[in-house]
Amino acid sequence: MSTATGGPSALAVVVPAHDEAGHLPATLRSVRTAALHPGVAGVTVLTVVAADACTDGTAAAARRAGALVVELARRNVGAARAAGVSAALDRLRAHGDGVWIVTTDADTLVPPHWLAHHMRHARDGWDCLAGTVRLAPHAALSPATAARHDARYFDGRPAVPALWSHPHVHGANLGIAAAAYRRAGGFPPLAYSEDRALVAALERDGRRILRTDLCPVLTSPRSDARAPHGFGAHLRALARSED
């Protein structure tokens, strides 16, 4: 099932954030650079930050960067992503189903061609794009933990990376056509794995899902990651296994 009729006319970039005033400005700068890529020329780009239960200057930092801010007090990443998408689709309602929703995280840097990469595949008729991540250098990340992560993460990757239909799902690098998103019920209000739950719903709905490693984003391996059972928890478990 394809939602493409010549490609999206708008991109909604949604970033959930809980007390991310320190990391968020760099994330939004990277998104702003991606929005200037020639591959998205003529396409409306709206960035929404869902500031969830924040006690710092996250919302103010997002507004200074020009993002639309939605504030909520759920302390739930699934609810935050859903609130951000809802606000984006409401603001972009004139585009109807011609919106491609892209999500990332507040401690992630996207490459300059990130939005162009999503647009190209949206125009090709994909309903969802599940991208990959790379770990940024960080004092909390030991070489042994990084090596252990890479061994597991890249297990099974073929010699030609372009042919790797990887098994991963990251809210830090995920794109969905608006019609497919609505049909699947959107992000569920889960404290973790909300991204996997949405992609599973899209699969049950028979949507075309592209799993590609060609445009990874750079994510923080910090030990104080916000999701209780998310990527940071996975890295902490890998670090403990070294002991």
How confident is the model at residue 4, as a pLDDT?
Answer: 41
Region 170-175: mean pLDDT is 98
Q: Using one digit for the tens of pLDDT, what is the confidence trace for 103-157?
A: 999 999 999 999 999 999 999 999 999 999 999 887 777 888 889 989 999 999 9
Answer yes or no: is pLDDT of 20 > 70.
Answer: yes
Cross-sheet strand order for the sheet of 209-211: 68-72, 44-52, 10-17, 99-103, 174-177, 128-130, 209-211
Largest CA distance in the chain: 55
Q: How many angstroms separate the CA atoms of 104 and 159, rounded?
A: 28
Picking from 222, 227, 233, the residue whose alpha carbon sits closest to that of residue 135 is 222
How confident is the model at residue 117, as a pLDDT?
Answer: 98
The CATH code of the domain at 10-137+161-221 is 3.90.550.10
Are 114 and 212 in contact by the 8 Å Cβ rule? The answer is no
| Cβ burial, residue 238 (10 Å; 0-12/13-18/19+) | buried
Answer yes or no: is pLDDT of 41 > 60.
Answer: yes
Q: How many angstroms separate the CA atoms of 61 and 46, rounded?
A: 16
Residue with tokens 């739930």: 76
Would you state the structure tokens that stand for residue 8, as one six-digit string?
């999206």
- What does pTM read for this prediction? 0.90
